[in-house]
Amino acid sequence: MYWEYFDKIYCISLTERSDRRKEAKAQFDAVGLLNSVEFVIVKKHPVNCEQGIYESHLLCMKKGLSAGADNVVIFEDDICFDRFSPEHLKSSIDFLSSQPNWKILFLGCMVRGSRKTENKSILKINFRSLCHAYVLNAGFAKRMVNESWQGMPFDDVLRDLRDDHFYAVYPSFAFQGNSRSDNHRYLALDRCRRLCGGLRRLQKMNEFFNMNKRIIIVMHVLLILTLVVMLTA
């Protein structure tokens, strides 16, 4: 299913979350990826969950670089696939093969802005959050492994880089599932997200809004103007 293009594929999982690993294996099996994924089992950080997440992602990068990988795929164990197709994946790989300057490709994420590229399956993005499924090249991985923990969550570090070579597949096909979060700092936010339909729905809404931002804004302006006219008539 074209996954063989990627040199190393890892999935981060906490030691005690065997339930998530079972669910993740079912997800990987559904997209032809099960036999290619190496689970990186880590212990929960004793003090700071965010530091544990940060260092787990860097651990996967270090493992990939040590293995001589030119690119590395990293998943988190609450991964959930939707809208996946081999053709979509192949188109994304064709883009990476033709773009020597790419640094990271998200298989699903939240963005602050996006715009089309010459490949209909790829968007150039301003990254916002969610690092549950992404590919990075060796050059960018080498840069990241030198960025030791400085008290900032991994998502925020990537967001603040404001790099011009961040991309995302379109439509995205990797989402975070609705299992309970292991990050105790955001349990209230996690509950709120699940009440809103989960991150899968929120991620799709974010994608739709950013792809149709101008139309949505114009429609809202016209609606407001119509209401003003009706109220003042």
**The amino acid at 58:** L
pTM: 0.87
Token pair 């192949």 is at which residue?
A: 90
Q: Which domains does the chain have, with CATH numbers?
A: 3-232 (3.90.550)
188-226 pLDDT, tens digit each: 555 655 565 578 889 999 898 888 878 888 787 878 878
Q: What is the pLDDT of residues 23-67, one digit of tens each?
A: 999 999 999 999 999 999 999 999 999 999 999 999 999 999 999
Retrieve residue 164's tokens: 């011009």
Sorted by sequence, the CB contacts under 8 Å of residue 104 that are 6+ apart come out as 134, 135, 136, 137, 140, 158, 163, 165, 166, 167
DSSP assignment of 160-209: HH--TTEEEESS--EEE-SSPPS-GGGHHHHHHHHHTTHHHHHHHHHHHH
